[in-house]
């Protein structure tokens, strides 16, 4: 990395309405993922692995569990000014909350004034991926752009789900147009069946970012959003660069997972991302020791698989089973169990995600479901088997057939 002072900002203030009921009592970046992680751990791990040591997390909605997780898990030594700190909305510019992600930065400019960085890396807090930001920062500096947007190649058929970047044919490192969920996107010149989608990660020259959010703050017609307002303004000025994730090499990555990135902002994408974890050759590999995903390691015993009174053996196939779990004479398949889950004799869990401290009674069946923290399923009860029954019990059932049970619910 060039000898510049780098500062990291993680945007973690979103409500996460599309992940309800998982966000009924917590911010989206605090939602558990992959057994022992929170969603924010992926962004913070990427920044720390990239060498950033001064990082703030801008929070707003239902931030208690998120703030607690950051303070307990992400404690740097403090030597040489190193820190990761949660910064809540402080109403520094009046009695109002953040009006958008750009306004969150505008209301937090005191952080940049204090640290006086040369470069600011701004990332979202709810994507699952690995990325070495060192390489993107070097590319940004070399390009001379005021802002650089990280982009990932996605199928042309999915263009209407993303912010799509069109590159300048004369200067392929510059953005010619930024289109929000276009219906008529054109494929890339070197790959007509693909488009470049914004990953929601940006690198800015610090002074340019400060000027941009101040200018945006004066506009009455702005939504004050980084992707919707700030980046398009840079594009109009010819000052927006693009960084294709295909250029990024993460140590320890495999051909299968090296360009993995998933926005887990909906129940369907959240569920699918878990299914990406559980195969023998996972689409996203949690076991890369050269670029680890860090999180809080609970003081817990190992998972245990035991026989029941009838000598039935507890088994798990293509699954992730977290610390503290006990699987007693039951069967787990293509599922993720959070810490301290108890699965009793004869229970069956298939294609599901179970958060921490769930208790699944004897003979219960869980299929295509997400169970939040502290859910209790009574012996013989079912979740995800009869969708009409699930709906009458007040559970969320998505159009794709995923049943979601909220925190602390008892299922009879």
SS3 call for 236? helix
Q: Exposure pattern of 329-349 as b/e (b: 16+ CB <10 Å)?
A: bbbbbbbbbbbbbbbbbbbbb
DSSP category for residue 206? H
Cα-to-chain-centroid distance, residue 234: 25
Phi, psi of 99 (to 5 degrees): -90, -5
Q: How far apart are CA 252 and CA 265, in angstroms?
A: 27
Residue 87's CB is within 10 A of a number of other CB atoms, namely 19
Q: What are the structure tokens assigned to 118, written together?
A: 């040369």
To the question of whether residue 163 is assigned a binding role by annotation, the answer is: yes
Query: Cα–Cα distance between 188 and 27 in angstroms, integer?
Result: 36
Strand 382-383, strand 365-367: pairing: parallel
* Residues pairing with 333 in the sheet: 317, 350
Which of 93, 117, 88 lies closest to 103, judged by CA? 93
Side-chain-side CA neighbours of 77 within 13 Å: the count stands at 2
The whole-angstrom separation of Cα 405 and Cα 393 is: 10
CA gap 380, 412 in Å, rounded: 8
Do the annotations mark residue 181 as ligand-binding? yes
Give me the phi and psi of 299, to 5 degrees please.
-75, 85
Q: What is the dihedral of CA 279, 284, 290, 295, to 10 degrees?
A: -100
Among 318, 344, 314, 306, smallest CA distance to 331 is for 314
Helix (H, G, I), strand (E, B) or coil at 221: coil
**DSSP letter assigned to residue 319:** -
180 annotated as ligand-binding? yes
63 annotated to bind ligand:
no
Dig out the tokens for 97 from the structure.
């909350």
Residues at the binding site for alpha-D-glucose 1-phosphate are: 163, 180-181, 198
């Amino acid at each position: 990395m060039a000898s510049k002072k780098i500062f990291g900002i993680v945007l973690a203030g979103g409500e996460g309405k599309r992940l309800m009921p998982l966000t009924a009592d917590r911010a989206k970046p605090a939602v558990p993922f992959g057994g022992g992680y929170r969603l924010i751990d992926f962004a913070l791990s990427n920044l720390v692995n990239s060498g950033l040591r001064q990082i703030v997390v801008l929070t707003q909605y239902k931030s208690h569990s998120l703030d607690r997780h950051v303070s307990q898990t992400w404690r740097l030594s403090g030597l040489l000014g190193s820190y990761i700190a949660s910064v809540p909305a402080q109403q520094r510019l009046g009695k109002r909350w953040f009006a958008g992600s750009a306004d969150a930065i505008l209301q937090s400019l005191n952080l940049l004034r204090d640290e006086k960085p040369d470069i600011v890396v701004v990332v979202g807090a709810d994507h699952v991926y690995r990325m070495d930001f060192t390489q993107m920062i070097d590319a940004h500096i070399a390009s001379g752009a005021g802002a650089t947007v990280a982009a990932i190649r996605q199928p042309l058929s999915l263009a209407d789900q993303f912010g799509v970047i069109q590159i300048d044919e004369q200067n392929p490192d510059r953005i010619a147009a930024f289109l929000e969920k276009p219906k008529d996107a054109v494929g890339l010149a070197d790959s007509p069946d693909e488009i470049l989608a914004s990953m929601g990660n940006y690198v800015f020259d610090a002074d340019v970012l400060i000027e941009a959010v101040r200018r945006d703050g004066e506009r009455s017609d702005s939504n004050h959003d980084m992707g919707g307002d700030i980046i398009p303004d840079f594009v109009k000025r010819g000052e927006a660069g693009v960084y294709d994730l295909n250029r990024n090499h993460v140590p320890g990555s495999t051909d299968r997972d090296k360009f993995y990135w998933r926005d887990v902002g909906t129940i369907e994408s959240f569920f699918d991302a878990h299914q990406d974890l559980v195969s023998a050759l996972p689409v996203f590999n949690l076991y890369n020791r050269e670029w680890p995903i860090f999180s809080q390691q609970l003081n817990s015993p190992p998972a245990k698989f035991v026989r029941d009174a009838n000598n039935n053996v507890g088994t798990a196939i293509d699954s992730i089973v977290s610390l503290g779990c006990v699987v007693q004479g039951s069967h787990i398949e293509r599922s993720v169990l959070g810490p301290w889950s108890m699965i009793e004799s004869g229970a069956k869990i298939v294609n599901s995600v179970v958060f921490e401290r769930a208790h699944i009674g004897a003979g219960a069946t869980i299929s295509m479901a997400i169970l939040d923290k502290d859910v209790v399923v009574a012996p013989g009860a079912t979740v995800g088997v009869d969708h009409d029954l699930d709906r009458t019990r007040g559970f969320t059932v998505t159009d794709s057939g995923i049943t979601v049970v909220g925190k602390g619910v008892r299922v009879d």
